[in-house]
Amino acid sequence: MKFTKKIIPWLFLFGILLYIGCDKVNNPQYNIDDTSCNECGRCIQICPVDAIEFGPNSKAVIDQTKCNQCGRCITICPKDAIY
Partner 1 sequence: MKKIFIILLLTTFGIGQFSALTNWSQLSLNYFSTTAKDNIDIVTGASQNANNINTKGKFGVQYQHEVTGEINDKISFDVKEDVFYSDKSHEQRNSFLVNDLRVKIFYQTEFTYFKFQFNNRYYDSGETNFLNLPGVEQGTQQQTANNAILHYKHDVGKLNFNIYTSFRDLEYKYIVLSKIEDSKDEEEEGNRAKSASDYDIYSLGKITFNISDAFRIFSRTYLKNDLNKSSELDETELGGGVEFEKRLDFFNSIFSRFSYYNLDSKAIGDLFTHNLLTEIRYTKRFLFPLAGFVSYKNRSVYDDTQSKLLRVSNLVRVYLKYSYQTQNILDSYVLAGIKYNPENNGNMVFGEFNQFLLNDLYLTAGVKFAPELFTLYSGKLEYYFSSLKSIWLKTEYTDFNNKSGQNIISLGSTLIF
Where does this chain bind partner 1 (CB under 8 A)? 5, 8, 12, 15-16, 18-20, 22-25, 27-31, 33, 35-36, 41, 44-46, 48-51, 53-56, 58, 63-66, 68, 70-72, 74-76, 80, 82-83
Which of 60-82 are b and which e, b meaning 16 or more Cβ less than 10 Å from the residue's Cβ?
bbbeeeebeeeeebeeebeeebb
Q: State the minimum distance, in angstroms, from the CB of residue 75 to partner 1.
A: 4
Q: State the minimum distance, in angstroms, from the CB of residue 64 to partner 1.
A: 5
How many Cα atoms are found within 13 Å in the side-chain-facing hemisphere of 59?
Answer: 13
Question: Could you give the CA distance from residue 62 to residue 45 in angstroms, rounded to a whole number?
Answer: 13
Nearer to partner 1, 3 or 23 (CB): 23
